[in-house]
Structure formats: structure tokens, C-alpha cells
Amino acid sequence: MKTLKSISYILKGHPQQVGDGFIGQSMIPSQRFQDFSPFLLLDHHGPMQVKPSPIPKGVDEHPHRGIETVTAVFEGALQHRDSAGNKGTIFAGDVQWMSAASGLVHEEKHELNFSRQGGILDFVQLWVNLPAAHKMKKPRYQELASAQIPLIQLNEATQLKVIAGELAGLKGPALTYTPVLLAELTISDETQFELQLPEGFNVAIHVAQGEVLLNNTEKAVAKSIAKLSQQGQWIEISAKKGTRFLVLGGEPINEPIVSHGPFVMNTQAEIRQTVQDYQSGKMGFLEPVTY
């Protein structure tokens, strides 16, 4: 017998601007992040009109420790560089999975040519917590081009891409430190279908555009996130043409969380040490760039 996951609640995003180039919605309130563990943050930036600029805008040099940042681009282009020596550019359909772990400094900007031409930018960024055993690992960088991310047609109207974990028999390429599911579904026509999701995981559905009806009872519209119960395995979905949504799931990390801006550790003492390490230059630095 199929057991349905119930809908715990649906939240709407709150307006947020990050740096001088990313405008959007913050989807996970800080007082509820334990409900979404291992996910700490989901920001949906866009769709926004980027005006042409010879100097790329975005978020200047800043540090991280104890987490991973995951950036998935729907439209437009972004560029990244960090103090571990990683550089990358991601376009529509690509994903960047950066494990800050023990700490690094990075910047995220509009990609140079995209910045000069202008256009529509639409992307999401997630912060994924790391358990204590992995917080001080060496930083790791994964750039997943769209062609590397497997996709299937669930039905004539529904395309599924799996970035991390496994869903509908499809396995994503991203390496993760704990069990994580991240998938994207796009709807080309009105449709109904079911998804089998892991029991015991924290699972949520972020509607990026369009709207979905869950279990024939709860409607989630664009720029909202639906938290599902850990119990049960199935969710019934009805979606309209032009809908895009993400499925986020993960095994909860049942450890204390102490955060300070871009740092997420387990104790106040670790946070104090992290701040000292950053201020003393142990996380590295970025060389200036001339455009």
C-alpha cells in the first residue's frame, strides 16, 4: 500500500538582495532551518533583468566554513573563483557544488560576457550543512555541466533532472558528504504524476515558476516552498504548463548548529576560532582582477 507524505506547511519567500547584483527571495527562514536539515538556506535570485555593465556585479570576496554552497542556473550565466584555486563559469542548466569545508574565500559574479551584454538572470543557491566529522575537510569544487546531469521524461509533459542522490531510478553525479537528493522538474503541459521519495529524509518542494497541487489538497505557487513529512514515501503532483520546481531531500544532521554569517559550526568556541582563522588569513585571499 502506498503511503503519502503529508504537507507540513507551505512558506512564501521573503525579498532579499545579496551583493550588488543578486535580487530575489529567501525561502527558508532561519528559525525553521532545522526542519530542512541538511539544507540551511535556499535563495532564489530572479528572474531579474541585468543591465549591461563592463564590470560584472554580484557578491564580492567573502568567506565560508562548515558548509557547501550549491548554485543551479535556470537562465543567464555566473562566474566563480576561490582561494583554493578553483575558477568556473556556469550557464543555464549547469550546477556548481562548492564544499567550503575547512574554509575558503570566494566571489560570485555575473559572467563577463553576460555582464557586458545584459539579459535575464535566474538561479537558486542552496547552503548544505556538513556534519562535524567533515567540517574541517579540505575544500572541494564540482562544476556540473548540463550535459553531465542525467535526465528522463517521466511522462510526455514532465522532464526530470537529478543533480544529487537518486529519484525515479535516475542517479545524480554530484558527490555529497551525507545522503542528499536534489532534482529539477520542468513541465511542458498540464499533467499529473507521482514521485516516490525517501522515507525518513527531510523533503521539500520549491516552486521556481508556475504552480503545483500536492496530494490534490495543497497548492504551492511560484516562489514558495512546501515542507513534506518525513513519514510516507509518495507525493501526488498536479502541475500546470510552464511550471519548474526543485525537490530537495536529505538525511537530517542531528547535531548542534552555531552560525555566524557565512560560518556554520557546532560550538561557539569553533565559531571564535573560525573568525580568528579568517582574520589571520588562513582561509586565503583572492588576487585583484582588472576588467
- Domain boundary assignment for the chain: 7-250
- What are the grid coordinates assigned to 43, written together? 535563495
Which overall architecture, per CATH, does domain 7-250 show?
Sandwich (2.60)
C-alpha to C-alpha distance for 39 and 25, rounded to whole angstroms: 16
Cα→Cα distances 94→68, 97, 117, 129, Å: 17, 10, 20, 21
Residue numbers in the chain where pLDDT is lower than 50: none
The pTM of the full predicted model, rounded to 2 decimals, is 0.96
Measured distance CA(66)–CA(104) in Å, rounded: 10
> What pLDDT sits at residue 31?
84
Closest-CA residue to 88 (of 73, 101, 103, 67): 73
Question: What grid cell was written down for 177?
Answer: 558528504
Please check whether residue 245 is in contact with residue 161, taking contact to mean a CB–CB distance below 8 angstroms.
no
Beta-carbon contacts of residue 153 (< 8 Å; ≥ 6 apart): 159, 160
Percent of the chain with pLDDT over 90: 95
pLDDT in tens, 107-140: 999 999 999 999 999 999 999 999 999 999 999 9
pLDDT at 260: 96
Residue 139: alpha-carbon gap to chain centroid: 18
DSSP string, 183-219: EEEEESS-EEEEEE--TTSEEEEEEEESEEEETTTEE
Average pLDDT of every residue of the chain: 96
- For the stretch 235-246, pLDDT in tens is 999 999 999 999
Cα 195 to the center of its chain, rounded Å: 20
